[in-house]
Structure 1
Amino acid sequence: MAQVKVSGKVTDAKTKKPVAFADVSFPISGNYTSTNSDGSFYLESAENDTILEINANNFEFQEIQLKDKVNFNLSISLVQLVTEDKTVELDGATITSRTTKFRNKKENPAYPIMREIWARKKFNGLKSVPQYEYEEYEKLQFDLNNIDSAMTQNRLFKDMEFIFESIDTSEITGKAFLPAFLNESVYKVYGKNNPSRRERKDLIANKSSGFDDNEIVGQTLKNLYKEFNIYENRLNFFNKNFVSPIARDGFSVYEYELTDTLSIEGKDYYRIKYYPKRDGEYTFKGDFYVSMKEYAIKEIAMQSTKNIDVNFVRDIFVAQNFEIVNDSVFYPIREYILLDMALLTKKDKAKGMFAHRTVSFKNFIFDNPHPDAFYNPRNYDPYTSGAFEKDDAYWAETRHERLSKNEGGIYEMLDSLQQVPRFNRIVKAVEIFGSGYWNVWNAIDIGDLYSTIGNNDIEGLRLRAGARTYFSQNDMWRLAGYMAYGFKDHQFKYGAEARFMFDKFNRFQIGGGTKRDVEQLGVQLTTSDGIMTRSFASSSIIGMGDNNKLSHINKTNLYTSIDPWKNVTIRLDGNYQTTRAADPEVFNISYINEKGLEEAHLIDTNLSLSIIARPGAKFSRYGIDRYEHSTLAPTIMLRYTRGFSGLFNSQFDYNKIQFLFAKPFLVGSFGRSDVVLEAGKTFEGMPLSLLSVIPGNESYGQVPGTFSQVDYYEFVTDSYATFILDHHFNGWIFNKIPLLKKLKLREVGFVRAAWGEISQESLDINRSEINYLAPSDQIYFEYGFGVENIGFGNFRPFRINFNWRGNYLDNPDARKFGVTIGMSTSF
């Protein structure tokens, strides 16, 4: 719809090198942008602009007359300045045009303004008032970009050619795109700050088009965006710390230029332009407007640097606008984020996706208090309030901003698409790939397809087939089961479970199941009580040693759980399990029973009470299975287990307590640390099957929570504590080495430690040939480094670890060094 479009490249007339971060503007409309690190730019306007202005530090100003409406691939050369420095007094600030960089930040005219911003550092202004409420409108849009004539003629789109009538052009990147998904939501938000902060967010209306039932697209879009505050020193994008343009240490990362003053709605503002000192770091380019009186940000634009080192992401653009009420109160009025993403390669012309998020806020009220009980989110249910049933007239009146012509056509276009069989087949293939399940009949899915084939020394080749019910992504109940067969032991295995949820607010649910299978015990300290789960070690394809320390288990589980508070779950499990060695001649787990006789078959009946907290975690869907968004939320779990002798022929009374803490931490500009801490104690002497085994890993794969240089059952304890730290530097070191920076490899450092002890009572009970060694004299540790982000283009899922064992080197068959390989598709 734009009338004027211009793209091109700005270079130094003498050196022919790109001129980075030059201002390119239309003086009539006021639209502007800045060049990328390679000198490239794109700009468009809906006005009849006929002049293009280019202004760069240390270069002569240039003005170009535009002859056509569309001017692509312009080549613009700038001449370096040779004049002396010039200074101009402007509204109390000195604006300087210089031919050299400032010797230190205090000489920069932008510095005293930044100091005032830091001194009055604002947090969300809504946090400074007693109470507030407002209306929020959110629009999420997903587009396919870099659409060209070759794509429109591709046979893949046979019978779907009508979709290309909706092609548009991005006003930020200039790329042609095809709208594919649109979701609109209206919320009513209520909050209070005293005596404690409470907030309630009611979904008033929701409208979605395109992939409505496809859980992958919608959830992926929502998961891309995280809340951030520009006044913080670091901004979280894709769980990576980007340096905020307002950061206190910004002068060590950015160049700042005080370029102008202007009036907006009767108030005066400084314009400060910024761009990174170094390429390839997690930084932005752009500008912001600062009020001269309050020193608060009125508007800010942020665009990621050209060579951003984030997988699948070519560009990030953010624009925020604020309403400044007074020195202490300001609030957002609009936010727009554009993510330019690509699957295989980040080249500008490669096919990719745009993910847009527009949020606007209005109708602020600050004098309407509510009692604490009002802020309980369970007071409002969007699924019974008609939020998903609003008609077109409602949306035409309620939207904060009118849809563009192409946006408005998405609903009709995608409704038509869903009538095309070829399109539905493509969508189904994507669903199968993402979920691992294939819908074969009505609400029956088969899978998990990724668990179909396994191998171990007891079963040999193992084939597995499973199925589940799946009516919708918000099912309140689920049935699932599987059967498996081992071609070496010639035995069938099975498992089945049923789960029912009665209340979507407190998530009160019950469930139960049973299974008979062969598993590798002792590879997880805080074990799962589920029926459908299975140990990695008993299904791995390739291992380092003999995979023969397996156990036959028959397990029945009944559970109930409830969330009395948000993200806090209380769960009670009742378990009945029999355990015996899968191959007693190789792996003997016999023990002395209460009659003093040797017993090879263990019967255990227990109750387990768990409290699990996930503060800050975010979920999509309200059904019994939820999709968790990627956040920095911790996992905190406390579990107490009580064994009952004599109940269903159970053979032992015991008490066990366990604790788990896991959390990712963003560490400034140095990357991310993933920390896992576990501890536990069993208060009575127990057979091997009920003891706590330091989790080993005899496979070549990387398995979270395990020790790569420890064999299965090498360390056995009844009291333990483990600590695992993985630090992802995200290229902080490698990016300083030119060759490695070009390869986009990223470095990882890690350390794993375990302490434990085993009581004499436990030693006296067991009769296994296993050496019952606990790491009590010394804390066992292993360490190493890894290289991740290995692959090609944007597809870089591989990681290789080099692991060294720190002590207990004299243990039989101790592995002093090992290499493990893993996969992870992350940004």
Structure 2
Amino acid sequence: MSNKGLFTAFLTILSIVSFAQVKIQGKVFDAVSGKPISYADIRLPELKVGTTTNSDGSFYIESATSTNKLSITKSGYVNYDYEIVDLIDFSFIAELDPKPEDNSKDFIDDSGDGISLQGATVTGKKKQRLKKKENPAYAILKEVWARRKSNGLKMVPQYSYNEYEKLQFDISNIDSAFMKKKIFKGFEFVFEKIDTSSINGKTYLPAFLNESIYKIEGINKPKTQERRELKANKTSGFENNEVVAATVKNLFKDINIYDNRLNFLNIKFVSPIATDGFAVYDYELKDTIDIDGIETYRIKYFPRREGELTFKGDMYISKDSYAVKSIDLETTKDMNVNFVRNIFMQLDYDVANDSVFYPKKEYAMLDMTILSKKESSKGLFAHKTVNYYNYDFDSRQPDVYYSERIDPAMSSVNVQSKEYWAENRPEALTKDQEGIYETLDQLNEVPKFNRFVKTIEVLGSGYYRVGNIDIGNLYSSFGYNKIEGLRLRAGARTYFSQNDMWRAQGFLAYGFDDDKFKYGADVRYMFNKFNRFQIGAGTKRDVEQMAAQLTSSDGIMTRSFASSSIINQGDNFFLSSNNLTNVYTSIEPWKNVIFRLDGNYQRIKPASREHFSIAYDKNGVVQENLTNSSVSFSVIAKPGAKYSQYGIDRVEMSTLAPTLMLRYTKGLKGVIDSDFEYDKVQFLYTQPILVGSLGRSLMTVEAGKTFQGVPLSLLSAIPGNESYGQVYGTFSQLDYYEFVTDEYVTMNWEHHFNGWILNKIPLIKELKLREVGFLRAAYGDISDKSKAINRSTINYTAPNQQIYYEYGFGIENIGWGNIRPIRIDFNWRGNYNNLPDVRKFGVTLGLQWDF
């Protein structure tokens, strides 16, 4: 027997063991041309179960209930009715005969309800597309658009309901060869849990499961407030399960099916309910189906063109209210999204009346892969299931109850019994899900498995744990610059749990050219996990590039990228030796709003006096070193930001949340021999923005002003970039200290088109490249007072005659297979080209791991 035959036999046995009654996988072809038929309708008519073929004609259909009928239909072809012989068939082939070109039929809604569709013609011509207004589905969707529904939770004075959430990770495409690998010796028992996906028929091994039950209560008057309280939480037992669960959850965004564009992975897909849907989708009205006692129209939809961010599937529209009762969304195989082969989502709604709906159930699945998008390659399934139930619109608590902050530690506590879960789950776990907890408990007792998990943790975090100490960050162990030459760095931090309320950390570094040691250490403690009130203190002595950021961090452990650039466009000797001591306190009185107070004492001098000077005039005496004591107060807001963990260090999830910061700094002359008194105000705003089907923008605006004359080290240099690497927020065609200001406004904007242009070009689109455009601008000035005290080797020049700007474009998503991290930018300098030794054009390279 061939390997393919052995694997088919393996799947068959597996299917019987897992109690599935019908599993059919195959392809549909044109009987005349032999070409695959895309987007054909595959149904088990007696069970009302269906799917649609992919662009290559392939399909998979499954049902837990047995049946003996399978039907395949496609506009322009004769219906294919098949009597099922083998309930388990993974090599099914169907050939459809084209209809004569003059064949046509009418769809007539003869139920007596709804709009009249009689006379709307569905053509039988194989390749002829109906005009929009001739399509019976258009009349239905037109009513849906006219009566666009709203989520009823936002239209009542108060509400409460329960939410059950289930998150799951699986290893996909498990085969017999994979199971025989030596790496699994000693824990072969895990393969007892293998099953096949009901979405695509691929085998999978459950690896992680998290369950949560929430009580959600909210009010909309006098103002909108919502309380989300965790009642129960249960995970499969990995040490960092909170981060894993948050990562899985963050892969899935909340969507409103009535929006024209739907956010998946921070990429906008065209909704099949979009008012402009007929420009990108074909629609076919198939039949009427009863769902929960409600008569619905079943409309099949699929994309008109390949490679666009669209879906295929079925939607079910209520005949009475023209609301979406249920909808399936599945991406096509040729979508230009990295690391994801398929996205599937099923949404079910309760239709309350003509104007509102309530979410009932959501199921979403991502078929993810790292190395290759081939269907046979190993990967991960990420699942999310949400049930909404026990709606109550009458009960109301005191208004202060809804704004009360809930203990964040509850997110990591498993407090409920098996009996509680059995009673409160709205749907039972499958047999394989029930065994995950037990299996992973067994796995945690296998030394080889623990070593494997530890390796993954090290690669992900950059830290190697020894007892309660983390060694690292390992990714910062090596560096290079013109002053230090080769630089080696070793660091460590305390780590007792993922939610430590205190942390101490430090590093020691050595430069082989300057023959000097550098060091840094700090300790931080958080008193309250509700408002995150914390204090900290630290000190460091290090070599840094102080002209690489405008809104710099006061943190001790941070380091400028420009201090360790390996390949530069020129020699960078403009480095400073920074001896900094910092104490701070911060508090988060409102969610995602932080107040922070810093006290800094620093001594700054050139890292190499031979090449660089920061000299200034102090009362007629030229000083080379600077002593600066200052205090700063910052307000940092991140509305909408999401985090996992709640300790002193927490992990921010990728969202579209903006960041706003306002900082005031006061220089304290005479305090510990500080040289200058000054007042400085800075502002920062940055936000990713989805722009419909055109992609994603990232916008950053920074502004600041220093009100007194100060020397170079306290001024604001427009951040240059002398490396060949891409660093967002810097100006690639500027040298360090080329523009020096004491008042400035800068803007950085880049837009990622996600292949919106290149995907439309034949042959080029096969490369799945993506285009990016960018614009950078800066305006600033420097006062006569600051110029007057300058004695450095830097000639103070500010972009005050006109706005300095750079522009360009880039090609991203360059790589091989499914690994496409490379981006190449082509940068042009827009003006100030009369200055000496300017770089008018440059090419920069970068790495980015985006979907």
TM-score by length of structure 1 reads 0.98
Question: Could you say what secondary structure the match of 1:555 adopts?
Answer: strand
- Determine the structure 1 residue equivalent to 2:419: 393
Q: Does 1:630 align with 2:630?
A: no
- Determine the structure 1 residue equivalent to 2:124: 99
Point out the more displaced range, 22-31 or 493-502. 22-31
CA contact (8 A) 1:321 1:332 kept: yes
Q: Go from structure 1 to structure 2 and tell me whether the alpha carbon gap of 1:720 and 1:386 turns closer, same or farther (over 3 Å shift).
A: closer
Question: Could you say what secondary structure the match of 1:776 adopts?
Answer: coil
Q: Distance in 1 between matches of 2:763 and 2:243?
A: 36
Q: Which aligned pairs between 1:177-188 and structure 2 lie closer than 5 A?
A: 177-188=204-215
What letter matches 1:492 in structure 2?
Answer: F
- Determine the structure 1 residue equivalent to 2:8: none
Point out the more displaced range, 209-218 or 131-140. 209-218
- Determine the structure 2 residue equivalent to 1:668: 692
1:530 equivalent among 552, 555, 569: 555
Q: Distance in 2 between matches of 1:437 and 1:212?
A: 15
Q: Structure 1, residues 193-221: CA drift from partner, whole Å, max 9, x if none?
A: 12221111001100000424356633431
Q: Does 1:504 align with 2:505?
A: no
Q: Does 1:193 align with 2:220?
A: yes
- Determine the structure 1 residue equivalent to 2:9: none
2:105 equivalent among 86, 89, 103: 86
CA contact (8 A) 1:203 1:387 kept: no
Q: Go from structure 1 to structure 2 and tell me whether the alpha carbon gap of 1:88 and 1:519 turns closer, same or farther (over 3 Å shift).
A: closer
Q: Does 1:617 align with 2:641?
A: yes
- Determine the structure 2 residue equivalent to 1:577: 602
The Cα of 1:784 is off from its aligned counterpart by: 0.9
Q: Which aligned pairs between 1:260-659 and structure 2 lie closer than 5 A?
A: 260-378=287-405, 380-381=406-407, 383=409, 388-440=414-466, 442-593=467-618, 595-659=619-683
CA contact (8 A) 1:128 1:328 kept: no
The Cα of 1:482 is off from its aligned counterpart by: 0.3
The Cα of 1:512 is off from its aligned counterpart by: 1.0
Q: Distance in 2 between matches of 1:263 and 1:455?
A: 69
Q: Go from structure 1 to structure 2 and tell me whether the alpha carbon gap of 1:469 and 1:215 turns closer, same or farther (over 3 Å shift).
A: farther
Q: Does 1:114 align with 2:133?
A: no
CA contact (8 A) 2:230 2:410 kept: no
Q: Distance in 2 between matches of 1:427 and 1:180?
A: 12
The Cα of 1:674 is off from its aligned counterpart by: 0.7
Q: Go from structure 1 to structure 2 and tell me whether the alpha carbon gap of 1:626 and 1:377 turns closer, same or farther (over 3 Å shift).
A: farther
What letter matches 1:470 in structure 2?
Answer: Y
The Cα of 1:810 is off from its aligned counterpart by: 2.1
Q: Structure 1, residues 216-242: CA drift from partner, whole Å, max 9, x if none?
A: 633431221111111111111111100
1:753 equivalent among 761, 765, 777: 777
- Determine the structure 2 residue equivalent to 1:60: 78
Q: Go from structure 1 to structure 2 and tell me whether the alpha carbon gap of 1:384 and 1:215 turns closer, same or farther (over 3 Å shift).
A: closer
Q: Go from structure 1 to structure 2 and tell me whether the alpha carbon gap of 1:575 and 1:250 turns closer, same or farther (over 3 Å shift).
A: same
Q: Distance in 1 between matches of 2:290 and 2:23?
A: 27
Q: Structure 1, residues 792-825: CA drift from partner, whole Å, max 9, x if none?
A: 1111111111111111112222111111111111
The Cα of 1:329 is off from its aligned counterpart by: 2.9
Percent identity over paired residues: 59
The Cα of 1:385 is off from its aligned counterpart by: 10
Q: Distance in 2 between matches of 1:58 and 1:710?
A: 61
Gaps of 5+ in 2: 1-18
Q: Distance in 1 between matches of 2:501 and 2:401?
A: 26
Q: Structure 1, residues 365-405: CA drift from partner, whole Å, max 9, x if none?
A: 00112222111241x33646995221111111111110111
Q: Distance in 2 between matches of 1:757 and 1:175?
A: 62
Q: Structure 1, residues 132-151: CA drift from partner, whole Å, max 9, x if none?
A: 00000000010001000000
- Determine the structure 2 residue equivalent to 1:13: 31
Q: Distance in 2 between matches of 1:691 and 1:201?
A: 46
What letter matches 1:67 in structure 2?
Answer: V
CA contact (8 A) 1:202 1:382 kept: no
Q: Which aligned pairs between 1:78-227 and structure 2 lie closer than 5 A?
A: 78-82=96-100, 83-90=102-109, 91=111, 92-94=116-118, 96-100=121-125, 101-213=128-240, 217-227=244-254
Q: Distance in 1 between matches of 2:342 and 2:424?
A: 31
Q: Structure 1, residues 28-52: CA drift from partner, whole Å, max 9, x if none?
A: 2221111011110001112221221
Q: Go from structure 1 to structure 2 and tell me whether the alpha carbon gap of 1:813 and 1:216 turns closer, same or farther (over 3 Å shift).
A: farther
Gaps of 5+ in 1: none
The Cα of 1:484 is off from its aligned counterpart by: 0.4
* RMSD over aligned Cα atoms: 1.3
Q: Distance in 1 between matches of 2:360 and 2:629?
A: 58
2:818 equivalent among 794, 810, 813: 794
What letter matches 1:623 in structure 2?
Answer: G
The Cα of 1:701 is off from its aligned counterpart by: 0.8
Q: Go from structure 1 to structure 2 and tell me whether the alpha carbon gap of 1:384 and 1:64 turns closer, same or farther (over 3 Å shift).
A: closer
Question: Could you say what secondary structure the match of 2:562 adopts?
Answer: helix
Q: Does 1:818 align with 2:842?
A: yes
Question: Could you say what secondary structure the match of 1:118 adopts?
Answer: helix
The Cα of 1:102 is off from its aligned counterpart by: 4.6
Q: Distance in 1 between matches of 2:197 and 2:480?
A: 51
CA contact (8 A) 1:102 1:108 kept: no
Q: Structure 1, residues 274-319: CA drift from partner, whole Å, max 9, x if none?
A: 1110111110001111112211111010000121211000000000
Q: Structure 1, residues 77-108: CA drift from partner, whole Å, max 9, x if none?
A: 11111143221321433464312445531121
CA contact (8 A) 1:234 1:668 kept: yes
Q: Distance in 1 between matches of 2:642 and 2:27?
A: 43
The Cα of 1:704 is off from its aligned counterpart by: 1.3
CA contact (8 A) 2:123 2:130 kept: no
Point out the more displaced range, 384-393 or 116-125. 384-393
CA contact (8 A) 1:201 1:377 kept: no
Q: Distance in 2 between matches of 1:62 and 1:262?
A: 21
2:276 equivalent among 219, 235, 249: 249
Question: Could you say what secondary structure the match of 1:651 adopts?
Answer: coil
Q: Structure 1, residues 535-576: CA drift from partner, whole Å, max 9, x if none?
A: 111111221111211111110011111111111111111111
CA contact (8 A) 1:204 1:387 kept: no
What letter matches 1:182 in structure 2?
Answer: L
Q: Distance in 2 between matches of 1:384 and 1:263?
A: 42
- Determine the structure 1 residue equivalent to 2:717: 693
The Cα of 1:458 is off from its aligned counterpart by: 1.1
What letter matches 1:606 in structure 2?
Answer: S
What letter matches 1:291 in structure 2?
Answer: S
Question: Could you say what secondary structure the match of 2:523 adopts?
Answer: strand
Q: Go from structure 1 to structure 2 and tell me whether the alpha carbon gap of 1:279 and 1:793 turns closer, same or farther (over 3 Å shift).
A: same
Point out the more displaced range, 736-745 or 164-173. 736-745
What letter matches 1:84 in structure 2?
Answer: N
CA contact (8 A) 1:803 1:819 kept: yes
Q: Distance in 1 between matches of 2:275 and 2:87?
A: 43
Q: Go from structure 1 to structure 2 and tell me whether the alpha carbon gap of 1:160 and 1:87 turns closer, same or farther (over 3 Å shift).
A: same
Q: Go from structure 1 to structure 2 and tell me whether the alpha carbon gap of 1:386 and 1:778 turns closer, same or farther (over 3 Å shift).
A: closer
Question: Could you say what secondary structure the match of 2:333 adopts?
Answer: coil
